[in-house]
Amino acid sequence: MKREFHSRTKAFACLLTMCAGFSDAYTFICRGGTLAAGQTGNVVFLSVGLIGQQISDVEVKLATMLAFMLGIFLMTVLRRLIDNSVWRLSTLVPFILTTLVTGFLPASVKNVFIVPFFG
């Protein structure tokens, strides 16, 4: 029987789903109504913010979308540099570090400095 990479297992898929769900719930409820992992929702919220001229909302959503694009770019580069069986697991490391650091930050820190790093 062929051994399955740990990054293709159902357990890994569930872990990624829980991570994305947690980050979206945390940033939406506690950090200004922005979805860290759900970029489709951020496009909708960005459009609503632009129409309503709510600049502070636009700033956070735009920063989150740009950070998401930067993350995709960095993972594309890392994929070429890291062993094929390990690169997918490396996507969890930044999330874990961000979650640990964010847990110790006071609520007074502006959302634009926290939310983009959660995506």
The number of domains in the chain is 1
Q: Is residue 34 part of a domain?
A: yes
Which one has a higher pLDDT value, 4 or 79? 79
Q: Can you give the residue range of the structural domain that contains 92?
A: 6-118
Instruction: Indicate if the alpha-carbon torsion angle 50, 51, 53, 54 is positive or negative.
Output: negative
The predicted pLDDT at position 111 comes to 80
pLDDT at position 2: 56
Asked whether residue 24 is assigned to any structural domain, the reply reads yes
Q: Considering the domain boundaries, does residue 75 fall inside one?
A: yes
Q: What is the DSSP letter of 105?
A: S
The answer on pLDDT for 1 being more than 70 is no
Contact status, residue 64 vs residue 34, Cβ threshold 8 Å: yes
Helix, strand and coil percent figures for the chain, each rounded to 5: 70, 0, 30
Rounded CA-CA distance 11/19 in Å is 12
CB-based contact 44:58 (threshold 8 Å): no
Predicted local confidence at residue 5, as pLDDT = 56
Domain-embedded: residue 1: no
What is the per-residue pLDDT for 35? 78
The predicted-structure confidence for 32-67, as pLDDT tens digits, reads as follows 787 777 788 888 888 888 888 877 778 888 888 888
Answer whether residue 12 is part of any domain.
yes
- What pLDDT digit, counting tens, does each position of 63-110 carry? 888 888 888 898 788 778 876 666 667 777 777 787 778 778 888 888
